[in-house]
Amino acid sequence: MSTKGEHHTVPLSVLLKRESANEKIDNPELVHGQFNQSKKGEDFTFVKTECQRVTGDDGVTTFSVFGLFDGHNGSAAAIYTKENLLNNVLAAIPSDLNRDEWVAALPRALVAGFVKTDKDFQERARTSGTTVTFVIVEGWVVSVASVGDSRCILEPAEGGVYHLSADHRLEINEEERDRVTASGGEVGRLNTGGGTEIGPLRCWPGGLCLSRSIGDLDVGEYIVPVPYVKQVKLSSAGGRLIISSDGVWDAISAEEALDCCRGLPPEASAEQIVKAAVGKKGIRDDTTCIVVDILPSEKPAASLPPPKKQGKGIIKSMFKRKSSGSSSNTEKEYLEPDEVEELFEEGSAMLSERLDTKYPLCNMFKLFMCAVCQVEVKPGEGVSIHAGTANCPKLRPWDGPFLCASCQEKKDAMEGKRSSGGTYFTSPPDIVCVDLLGEANRTNLLSCR
């Protein structure tokens, strides 16, 4: 036994395994597969793996992106979002962040990217819309942004099911119903005459049963593109993601989806999930599924053994790194995986809350750039994201982030302060236009009526 003050020696083999484990923790192996059965041809997917990014400390990191876009009233919105969303998200992140800062910046950038994509698409005057479930995997951190009723679930190696997206159906989300009506929309069922109402709750005009989407210009801008965002960090044992459109979730539960593909690789799993859903209710809608396995690098997906028993934690035997019987206690303790860590969760539809900077990153927003569309804002023309809120009287002229006039109009429309055509639902709030050069004065203050 060592006495007090002495250092414990660690065998070289353990040190080498620790170094190897550190590399694997930073670089998991991702294996994915997808499958679709189409009825309308309005479901689209986006998969881009091994995207490289140069960090602020001159290093290079990689990340992967998986997106599912379930269009309605045509496919234009889904196609446009598929082609532009990632670039809009990345444009909202400063280029000189290190790895941890980049991950911390993602939730805010996802909000900005979703809103910009919606704003740009609506300027094309197209009336289709799309749900979006957008997943970015960076190391062991999974960030998910979602609008609509497609979903992403996670089963980590330690067992259990995590719902990483929100369901924005008016039928089941009372908070969203209240927000839509407060913003100027009407919520009700389809009236067939004689007082008879059928079907799910919908927003009128337009008849959309979702409270959040990208596109849907004909419904009203209180149907917002501001996503629910959740960010989790997996243990080094990994886990499985299932990203599916509502064609799956209308037929089977998250547990049923996971159970029906036990022991199968991602490609076969995606096919099995879609066939299970279609077999239960028929092909009533486009039905799409993406399965992503996030694995320790030393255990390729092809060698994953099927679990021995059903129930919570069954995926543990598929992913958990196992130590040999002759390993030391020190080695076993080091390689034992932790549980999933929840890093971030926010679902508010208010841009003043979602674009605010709550963590100490001095360069999270630039004084001369709009926080949403990233266009240059001239000094004296930037509008604080907090303008018109309860905190407005306490604002200092240099408090940001800032919006250009166009994005401020978009923000007001989403909050029911004016329609997309520019007419007011209510009296306009105080708008604080601040001098971005930092002069301590408030100019262009519109009177409150």
Q: What is the pLDDT of residues 49-66, one digit of tens each?
A: 989 988 877 788 899 999
Q: Which residue has the higher pLDDT, 201 or 303?
A: 201
> Tens of pLDDT along 311-330?
333 333 333 333 333 333 43
Whether the predicted pLDDT of 332 surpasses 60: no
391 shares its domain with 345:
no
Tokens of 46: 């986006």
- In which domain, by residue range, is 386 found? 361-418
Is this prediction's pTM over 0.75? yes
pLDDT recorded at residue 361: 45
Report how many domains make up the chain. 2
Indicate whether 112 and 38 sit together in one domain: yes
Q: Is residue 62 located within the same domain as residue 86? A: yes
* Contacts (Cβ under 8 Å, ≥6 apart) of 313: 158, 159, 160
CA distances 54 to 83, 95, 242, Å, are 23, 8, 29
pLDDT at 59: 80
Burial 219-251 (b: 16+ CB within 10 A, else e): bbbbbbbbbbbbbbbbbbbbbbbbbbbbbbbeb
Q: Report if residue 5 sits inside a domain.
A: no
Do the domain assignments include residue 232? yes
| 161-180 average pLDDT score | 95
**Does one domain contain both 291 and 373?**
no
pLDDT of residue 337: 45
Q: Does residue 393 form part of some domain? A: yes
Residue the block writes with tokens 């919570």: 312
**Based on the domain organization, do 293 and 161 belong to the same domain?**
yes
Residues 255 and 110 in one domain: yes
Domain membership of residue 331 (yes or no) is no
138 vs 197 pLDDT, higher one: 138
Cis peptide before 205 (omega within 30 of 0): yes
Look at residues 436, 353, 423 and name the one whose alpha carbon lies nearest to residue 397.
436
Whether 6 has a pLDDT exceeding 80, the answer reads no
Q: Are 431 and 408 in contact, with CB atoms under 8 Å apart?
A: yes
Residue-wise pLDDT tens digits, 187-206 = 999 888 777 889 999 999 88
pLDDT of amino acid 126: 82
Statement to judge: residues 244 and 125 lie in one domain: yes
Asked, for residue 200, whether it belongs to a domain, the answer is no
345 shares its domain with 391: no
pLDDT for position 272: 98
* Domain assignment present for 309: no
Provide the CATH number for the domain around residue 155: 3.60.40.10
Instruction: Examine the domain organization and report whether 378 and 345 are in the same domain.
Output: no
Q: Is residue 268 part of a domain?
A: yes
Residue 33, pLDDT score: 98
**In this structure, are 88 and 227 located in the same domain?**
yes
Position 232 pLDDT exceeds 70: yes
Whether residue 345 is found in the same domain as residue 376: no
pLDDT of residue 37: 95
Q: Are residues 41 and 115 in the same domain?
A: yes
Residue 4 lies in a domain: no
* Res 391 pLDDT > 60: no
